[in-house]
Chains A and B, each alone.
Chain A
Amino acid sequence: MHDANWEPRIVAFFCNWCTYTAADLAGVSRLKYAPNVRIVRLMCSGRVDPQFILAALAGGADGVLIGGCHPGDCHYAEGNMKTLRRFQMLRRVLAGFGLEEPRVRLEWISAAEGEKVRYVINEMVEQLRPLGPLAWGQRFGVEEGAAAHAAPAPQPEAVHA
């Protein structure tokens, strides 16, 4: 079992024009929401490279939230469409890797929807809580209790230097 003091850690990628502005609005509106999220501001949700999501999950995040403009409202016309398409495929790949579905989530949140930021983050935290820590590095390869592993060798950051 995990530590009783464990709290879900969410890495959020918010687009500059809609969702980040909505988070800002939630702030100035003094809306209270769960403090479990670390927000990374990007110019567009279309900038979210799937590698970012995988790196967050492998690096200790328990969940990843992507926030972009509603369809049709993208500042760059179709950046959010690219994200939606990648996200639909990434979901399939992550399910194949054995990742629980609520851990990666895509939401459209406009600049006016500070309330939705609060709602989505609170709901995601509550969905992650029963799943427990992702602890991906420990999960892979030890499924059937072959617990006595030596510490993994340090990985060079870029294999193909």
Chain B
Amino acid sequence: MPKPKIALYWCASCGGCDEAVVDLAEGILGVLDAVDIVFWPVAMDFKKSDVEALADQSLLATLLNGAVRSSEQEEMVRLLRRKSRYLVAYGSCACQGGVPGLANQFSREQLLRFVYEEAPTLGENGRARPQLESRDNGHSLGLPQLDNAVRTLDQVVEVDYYLPGCPPTPNLTQAALQALLSGELPPRGTVLAPDIALCDECPRKATKPQDLSFAQFRRPHEMLIDAEKCLLAQGLVCCGPATRGGCGAQCISGNMPCTGCFGPTSRVRDQGAKLLSSLCANMAGKDETAINRTLDGIPDPIGTFYRYALPCSILRRGECTAPTPSTFNP
């Protein structure tokens, strides 16, 4: 019996999720015994035409990492969706938009203007925007179009399962692959990680005070961090209370606060708002002056509360579609 086929693909991502698959270490040998990887641009030499040649639904699953920001990414996402029985949003960017999603603070025009016209690193010849099409000697070259906003995978196509994390941890990846291969799958739309807050599984849980009271928010580089005590109790912005567990508290074990990459639990619609709610309600100040002095300790609130989840937030969803080509060119 032929082995089931899977594909791995990347969109707007850093490559860390592909690295996370390699991080299965010798576990990857077991995976390769069980499946054929038929498409994995970061590691193997297959082409888009190889995917197009496959029959629809002939892939057991595609693990797709990265958010969707360009016409090319959308085309590949739709192609792989058509070819796959199960589409897994792999990693924070595909699940919630991830760090690239922070671009949704700005309009496409602001981004293009800064990157191609105003960035201080541009030389005198640098002030030109890429064109969708350029012609030279009768040859035509095309570039993908930049969308108006960063979108999560499920804002573009239907997603069967979510595997969060920046990147997802090897044990969760292994468990997801096993579930796919065994066919013992949870209901569609399930996040393949425990549905509890990180604080619940945190090794420092016992040192978390009943009544947190922040007089000052501090950032990791400003202090020597106690390696045993709850990071919130030390005045650090730790996203544990509003973030899904399942990562094994790796950052905490490295003595760094959680930044929220696993996204919210199923009870929360907007991770940033919930984190804001939890942290700010526990401040010590009782008047506007004292409160605002404490809040100055979080200089970039959107980047702090929505670091991985801006495109699926209530107010900055990346729901708008591609711009009209005529507005792309300056």
Give which listed residue, A46, A90, A159, contacts B154 with CB less than 8 A. Answer: A159
Give which listed residue, B155, B277, B320, B327, contacts A49 with CB less than 8 A. Answer: B277
Question: Cα distance A113–B67 when bound, in Å?
Answer: 50
Residues A146 and B108 in contact in the complex (CB < 8 Å), given A88-B295, A90-B276 = yes
| Chain A proximity mask over B145-164: 1 for CB below 8 Å, otherwise 0 | 00011001011100000100
- Is the CB–CB distance between A71 and B286 below 8 Å? yes
Any A CB within 8 A of the CB of B171: no
Residues of A within 8 A of B281 (CB): 46, 82, 85-86
Question: Cα distance A50–B96 when bound, in Å?
Answer: 19
| Chain B proximity mask over A105-145: 1 for CB below 8 Å, otherwise 0 | 00000000000000000000000000000001100111111
- Is the CB–CB distance between A51 and B314 below 8 Å? yes
Question: Cα distance A142–B149 when bound, in Å?
Answer: 10
Any A CB within 8 A of the CB of B312: yes
- Is the CB–CB distance between B319 and A85 below 8 Å? no
Give which listed residue, B283, B295, B312, contacts A159 with CB less than 8 A. Answer: B312
Any A CB within 8 A of the CB of B324: yes
Residues of B within 8 A of A49 (CB): 273-274, 277
A-B pair count, CB < 8 Å, reads: 135
| Chain A proximity mask over B272-290: 1 for CB below 8 Å, otherwise 0 | 1110110111010111100
Any A CB within 8 A of the CB of B47: no
- Is the CB–CB distance between A85 and B291 below 8 Å? yes
B94 to chain A, nearest CB (A): 12
Any B CB within 8 A of the CB of A58: yes
- Is the CB–CB distance between A86 and B276 below 8 Å? yes
A141's nearest neighbour on chain B, judged by CB, is B320
Question: Cα distance A159–B268 when bound, in Å?
Answer: 10
Any A CB within 8 A of the CB of B83: no
Any B CB within 8 A of the CB of A2: no
Chain A interface residue bracket vs B: 35 or more
Give which listed residue, A54, A144, A152, A161, contacts B315 with CB less than 8 A. Answer: A54
B88 to chain A, nearest CB (A): 14
Q: Which of A23-31, A62-70, A92-100 contacts B (4 or more CB under 8 A)?
A: A92-100
Question: Cα distance A49–B108 when bound, in Å?
Answer: 31
Q: Which residues of B contact A (CB under 8 A)?
A: 96, 105, 107-109, 148-149, 152, 154-156, 162, 189-191, 263-266, 268-270, 272-274, 276-277, 279-281, 283, 285-288, 291-292, 295, 298, 301-302, 305, 312-321, 323-324, 327
Q: Which residues of A contact B (CB under 8 A)?
A: 46, 49-51, 53-55, 57-58, 71, 81-82, 84-86, 88-90, 92-94, 96-97, 136-137, 140-150, 152-153, 155-156, 158-161
